[in-house]
């Protein structure tokens, strides 16, 4: 590719010092290998630069994610790459890929993931949280039940407003599991206050196993639910997942494996056991 050419020791030292000065430990770690390949003519100068910067970004994103795992309270790391679109044809890959470019956060729009249990709502909400955390944005993950507990605790301690202010701050908030547990009237009011504050100020991703038409019942107040939905859907991407539970698929697979006939002697194996997808 390029002509072999040994990097002098002094240039190598200057590069090390510069990368250390710029606090680029990922690039610093990759430097020797990149220079070796560049000296051997395996890498062009632009590719060598690209590899160094790439090493820096990879390490930086991993660190951001580690920090976010603690501060954003992400319960697990899920990514779009792990999401099997063929299992969930109602989920449009283009819509999800476009959401993962995070323009919706810039535009302060919301995302609502709706669907029955096990279809991947939390998975997709988490993968958006991971992408946002990697991009250096402040993220906060909570279930609706935990959120309401924390708001009610703050209210009881006379610190509701500061608590709400803290919760308005993250540029992405995930509120998981709307509709699973009953909500008190006070809880619904606190949630409404928070969402009114975040409205047009920062993005929220919500997941629910109940369609909007059932939210009146979930929040115990049709009017409040209508006002909430009105704000939510004003700038909103709705992902309606109509499909089968991935959990049930996993259970079914496990059950099938457990109930498989015992292995037969070589040469007499059934077709099922030879299935490469197993
Ligand atoms: N289409 C999918 N591809 C890969 N994994 C999936 C898919 N849908 C769900 N899962 C996995 O199945 C489990 C249940 O999904 P989850 O997102 O918790 O469902 P929900 O929040 O809709 O109840 C999780 O471990 C999730 O990562
Ligand atoms: Mg879930």
User: Phi/psi at 241 (nearest 5 deg)?
Assistant: -100, 115
Residue having the nearest C-alpha atom to atom 20 of ligand 1: 118
pLDDT band at 72 (very low <50, low <70, confident <90, very high): confident
CA–CA separation, 15 and 8 (whole Å):
11
Domain extents in the chain: 9-71, 80-240
What would the pLDDT profile of 15-45 be if each residue is shown by its tens digit?
Answer: 999 999 999 999 999 999 999 999 999 999 9
What would the pLDDT profile of 236-256 be if each residue is shown by its tens digit?
Answer: 999 999 988 988 777 777 777
Ligand 1 and 123: CB distance under 6 A: yes
Residue having the nearest C-alpha atom to atom 9 of ligand 1: 120
Ligand 1 and 117: CB distance under 6 A: yes
Instruction: Name the pTM for this structure.
Output: 0.79
Distance 63 CA to ligand 1 centre (A): 25
Residue having the nearest C-alpha atom to atom 4 of ligand 1: 83
Percent of all residues in the chain with a pLDDT value above 70, rounded to a whole number: 92
Distance 114 CA to ligand 2 centre (A): 10
For 80-240, CATH gives 3.40.50.300
Ligand 1 and 253: CB distance under 6 A: no
CA–CA separation, 215 and 223 (whole Å):
10
Ligand 1 and 167: CB distance under 6 A: no
SS3 string, the chain, reads CCCCCCCCHHHHHHHHHHHHHCCCHHHHHHHHHHHHHHHCCCCCHHHHHHHHHHHHHHHHHHHHHHHHHHHCCCCCCCCHHHCCHHHCCCCCHHHHHHHCCCHHHHCCCEEEEECCCCCCHHHHHHHHHHHHHHCCCCEEEEEHHHHHHHHHHHHHCCCHHHHHHHHHCCCEEEEEEECCCCCCHHHHHHHHHHHHHHCCCCEEEEEECCCHHHHHHHHCCHHHHHHHHHHHHHCEEEEECCCCCHHHHHHHHHHHHHCCCCCCCCCCCCHHHHCCCC
pLDDT band at 270 (very low <50, low <70, confident <90, very high): very low
CA–CA separation, 198 and 10 (whole Å):
54
Ligand 1 and 88: CB distance under 6 A: yes
Ligand nearest, relative to CA of residue 249 = 1
The protein residues having their C-beta less than 5 angstroms from ligand 2 (an ion) are: 122
The pLDDT score that the predictor gives to residue 187 is: 94
Distance 118 CA to ligand 1 centre (A): 5
The atom of ligand 1 lying closest to the CA of 119 is 22
Ligand 1 and 87: CB distance under 6 A: yes
Q: pLDDT averaged over the chain?
A: 90
Distance 218 CA to ligand 2 centre (A): 16
What would the pLDDT profile of 181-229 be if each residue is shown by its tens digit?
Answer: 889 999 999 999 999 999 989 999 999 999 999 999 999 989 999 999 9
Give the CA distances from residue 157 to residues 150, 160, 168, 208, in Å, rounded to whole numbers and listed in that order.
Answer: 11, 8, 19, 29
Distance 122 CA to ligand 2 centre (A): 4
Tokens linked to 190: 């606190």
Mean pLDDT for 175-183 is 93
Ligand nearest, relative to CA of residue 90 = 1
Ligand nearest, relative to CA of residue 115 = 1
């Amino acid at each position: 590719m390029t002509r072999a050419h040994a990097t002098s020791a002094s240039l190598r030292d200057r590069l090390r010092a510069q990368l250390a000065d710029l606090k680029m430990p990922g690039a610093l770690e990759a430097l020797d290998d990149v220079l070796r390949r560049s000296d051997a003519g395996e890498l062009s100068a632009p590719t060598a630069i690209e590899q160094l910067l790439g090493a820096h970004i990879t390490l930086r994103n991993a660190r951001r994610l580690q920090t976010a795992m603690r501060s954003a309270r992400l319960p697990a790391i899920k990514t779009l790459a792990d999401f099997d679109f063929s299992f969930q044809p109602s989920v449009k890959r283009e819509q999800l890929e476009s959401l993962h470019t995070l323009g919706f956060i810039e535009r302060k729009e919301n995302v609502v993931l709706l669907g029955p249990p096990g279809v991947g709502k939390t998975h997709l909400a988490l993968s958006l949280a991971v992408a946002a955390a990697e991009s250096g944005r402040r993220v906060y993950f909570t279930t609706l039940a935990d959120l309401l507990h924390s708001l009610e605790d703050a209210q009881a301690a006379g610190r509701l407003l500061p608590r709400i202010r803290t919760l308005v701050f993250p540029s992405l908030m995930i509120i998981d599991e709307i509709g699973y547990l009953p909500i008190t009237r006070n809880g619904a009011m606190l949630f409404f206050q928070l969402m009114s504050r975040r409205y047009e100020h920062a993005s929220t991703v919500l997941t629910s196993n109940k369609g909007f038409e059932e939210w009146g019942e979930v929040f115990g107040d049709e009017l409040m639910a209508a006002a909430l939905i009105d704000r939510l859907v004003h700038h909103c991407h709705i992902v309606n997942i109509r499909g089968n539970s991935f959990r049930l698929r996993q259970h079914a697979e496990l059950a099938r494996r457990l109930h498989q006939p015992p292995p037969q002697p070589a040469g007499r194996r059934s077709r099922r056991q030879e299935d490469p997808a197993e």
